[in-house]
Structure 1
Amino acid sequence: MKDSFNFTAGQHSTNCSDQCISQCPKQWNNGSIYYKNNQTSGNQGYSAGQKVKEQFDSFKGTLIFFVDGVQEPVYISGIKEKVRFFICMQYADSSCTIRSLKKLSSPTSEHVPNEKAIQW
């Protein structure tokens, strides 16, 4: 993503996927990943009330997704630019709680069955 980006009201993150990476919920394309005007399926996605985690490893340039502590198989690799995290909520009265944003001493990800790297 560029150093800054302004979303307009009603704009979904998939409309700027040339600059953004987004993981969709189950209700939208079953958790597909949108990136650089492409879509890749293979992740389960998430539903309301589930804990979603994104882990960015700046040394490896990887972005890995987790839902309720379970690592998703599709991840992004080859990220060599500054990363900013954002949340896009589609419906009025939606809410999201950010529980933590921290620097880890080492990644918690591992190899999982059917894993697939998407080159950024």
Structure 2
Amino acid sequence: MKKISQKNDKMTTVSLTQILENGIWQMEAEFSNSQYYAAIGIVRDTYNIPADTHPGLDPHCHHMVSYGMSGYQWGDGAVNYKGNRTEGNIAYKDNQIIKAEYDSEKGTVIFSVDGVQQPVYVRGINEKVRFIIYMCYSQASCTIRSLKKLIAPTTKHVANEIAVQW
């Protein structure tokens, strides 16, 4: 496990160093003290994330997909990409386990909260990406519970699926 801690009040988006390209990759994360203003997602590997970056704002939103908590910018568990928000996932909270699973064969990222797969997912990814974490407030932290390569996907089709095109 690795803990990422926020030292002061400012928009902070960090990417994990692992480049996701071949196979199935899964990250499990858990936020604490976030004041409901945090997110997980992916960034294209070729994009250098500047300091003080919110993944949902221009121009960064054209290079990152984010799935946020109830207080995150547009809230209510929306998935944000290219300035569009797609609702349908639950708005998660601190101390819940959030999973993002990237499948390079299918070109998808699928999110789960406490083991429940969410219906809004990303498809059409045909390039290298990295997982991201976003936090904003001091004392917030995110524990990366695991980052691993899988032999087979743990996701499946669920009712009311909504695809966000990468």
**TM-score normalized by structure 1?**
0.93
Match in the other structure for 2:162 = 116
Q: Which runs of 5 or more structure 2 residues have no equivalent in the other structure?
A: 1-43
Show the 5 A alignment for 1:12-23.
12-15=54-57, 16-23=60-67
1:2 and 1:19 in contact (8 A); partners too: no
Contact 2:47 2:63 (8 Å CA) reproduced: no
Q: Given that residues 79 and 87 in structure 2 are in contact (C-alpha distance below 8 angstroms), is that contact kept between their aligned partners in structure 1?
A: yes
Q: Give the structure-2-normalised TM-score.
A: 0.68
Where in structure 1 do 4 or more consecutive aligned residues deviate above 3 Å? Answer: none
2:46 is matched with 3
Q: Which amino acid aligns with 1:23?
A: Y
Alignment counterpart, residue 36 of structure 1, candidates 71, 78, 82: 82
Q: Pick 1 or 2: higher relative contact order, CA cutoff 8 A, min separation 6.
A: 2
- Structure 2 CA distance for aligned equivalents of residues 30 and 23 of structure 1: 10
Question: More strand per residue: 1 or 2?
Answer: 2
The answer to whether the 8 A contact 2:102-2:110 is kept is: yes
Point out where structure 1 has 5 or more consecutive residues left out of the alignment: none
RMSD over equivalenced CA pairs, Å: 1.1
Give the structure 2 partner of residue 87 of structure 1.
Answer: 133
Distance between the aligned counterparts of 1:110 and 1:47, measured in 2? 24
- The number of residue pairs the alignment matches comes to 119
SS at match of 1:14: coil
Provide the identity percentage.
47
SS at match of 2:76: helix
Q: For each residue in 1:27-68, what CA deviation from the matched residue of structure 2 results, as whole angstroms up to 9, or x when unmatched?
A: 232010111221111110210111000000000000000011
1:5 partner letter: N
- 2:148 partner SS: coil
Write the distance in 2 (CA, Å) between the matches of 1:17 and 1:92: 23
* Separation in 1, partners of 2:152, 2:93: 28
Higher helix share: 1
- How far is the alpha carbon of 1:2 from its aligned partner? 4.1
